[in-house]
Amino acid sequence: MPRGWLQRISIVDLYLWAFRLVVLFVLIYGTVGTVRAARYGPDVWMDLLVFGLSQGSIYALIALGYTMVYGILRMINFAHSEVFMSGAYVGYYVAAAFGRSGYLDRNPLVSLLVVLAVAMTTSAVVALLVERIAYRPLRGAPRLVPLITAIGASFFLQYTFRGFFGSGFQAYPEAAVLRGKLVVAGIPMLRTQAVVIVASVVMLLVLYLFVMRTRTGTAMRAVSEDMEAAALMGIDVDRVIAITFFVGGAMAGAAGLLYALVFKQVHFFMGFIPGIKAFTAAVLGGIGNIPGAMLGGVFLGLFESVGPILVLDGLGIVAPYQLRDVIAFTMLVMVLIFRPSGILGERLAAKKA
């Protein structure tokens, strides 16, 4: 047995093992270094954790769109990051109008809910349009074709927004209620962070119930299981796909608003990085798997928030926070290379990846 194993090992395997070992070594060495230096107190770590959690719940919301679409169509909807951006951007105009009229401070709950509704609707409609115009005519085309279309759609949307609304950053208005800090169960956090976490959890729960408990949700699961069989059972596949895009888009729109609440600005290119990270989250949790996307999002948020200081600082690297995105991308690459089925490791084999 060992001999057969030895013979089957190739240069590529060795290389990949070396790659794993190097990353593992860096990880451990850096962590040990940081822990031993003990330069940061528990309050710093707590701040980072809370920040990571709020960040991660936003990623989770976006990741849902990737994961649901992939589950059904086996395609990466590259334009999803722009779906996210469009909700945030259009929501901005409503929020700015409320901000100018002072309504945002007089009645923050109602105005935020209205902005949320606008953002979700916009994103959902954009997602629907992309599906209808760009993807639907390509069902059954060779795999590269929808992928390239998706990249094209992504850039088209970005620069459409640039053309419509200009290339500058727009400052999101801030509701007075959301300023400042509060303490939950002994953990201090910014109010926006608390709102983001609560809102995401609610949204994720609603979506989970929708997919698991409603007829439409059942149809979605059936289509993602086997499209042809679902069609034979009388499910209107095109309609289900459209609903999937719609729901995924709405979640991304909500994420867009939450993201804008945290970072307080919108820009036509803002979707790219969160989009990639959310995709990472989706893969991390096992693509096609809804609870996995949620878990993956939170995990990624936490890791990229804590990681730079935990790992890189210990290596004596200057300005580790600059390399936050490198950590996220490295994680993406590592997951795709070594465990494309994700942490939850559900059904997914060569036929899908």
Helices marked H in 214-319:
215-225, 227-232, 237-263, 272-284, 290-307
CB of 137 or CB of 345, closer to another protein: 137
Write out the H or E segment, with its range, that includes residue 153: helix 144-165
| Nearest to another protein of 37, 317 (CB atom) | 317
The smaller minimum CB distance to another protein, of residues 143 and 213, is found at 143
Please, is 289 exposed, middle or buried when counting C-beta atoms within 10 Å of its C-beta (0-12, 13-18, 19+)? buried
Between CA 310 and CA 84 the distance in angstroms is: 30
Residues in touch with another protein (CB under 8 A): 10-12, 15-16, 19, 75-76, 93, 133-134, 137-138, 141-149, 151-160, 162-166, 272, 276, 279, 283, 317-320, 322-323, 325-326, 329-330, 332-333, 336-337, 340, 350, 353
Give the angle 34-37-42 at the CA atoms, nearest 5°. Answer: 75
Smallest gap from Cβ 147 to another protein, in A, equals 6
Provide the minimum distance between the beta carbon of 211 and another protein in the complex, in angstroms, as a whole number: 23
- Give the integer Cα–Cα distance in Å for 83 and 252: 7
Between 49 and 340, whose beta carbon lies closer to another protein?
Answer: 340
Is residue 72 within 8 A of residue 96, CB to CB? The reply is no
Minimum distance, C-beta of residue 223 to another protein, in the bound complex (Å): 19
Which lies closer to another protein via its Cβ, residue 93 or residue 210? 93
The nearer residue to another protein, 210 or 272, going by C-beta atoms, is: 272
Smallest separation (angstroms) from another protein to the CB of 334:
9
Tell me how far, at minimum, the Cβ of 121 lies from another protein, in Å: 16
- Tell me the C-alpha to C-alpha distance, in Å, between residue 51 and each of 59, 111, 166, 192, 307: 12, 25, 30, 10, 12
In angstroms, give the least distance from the CB of 145 to another protein.
5
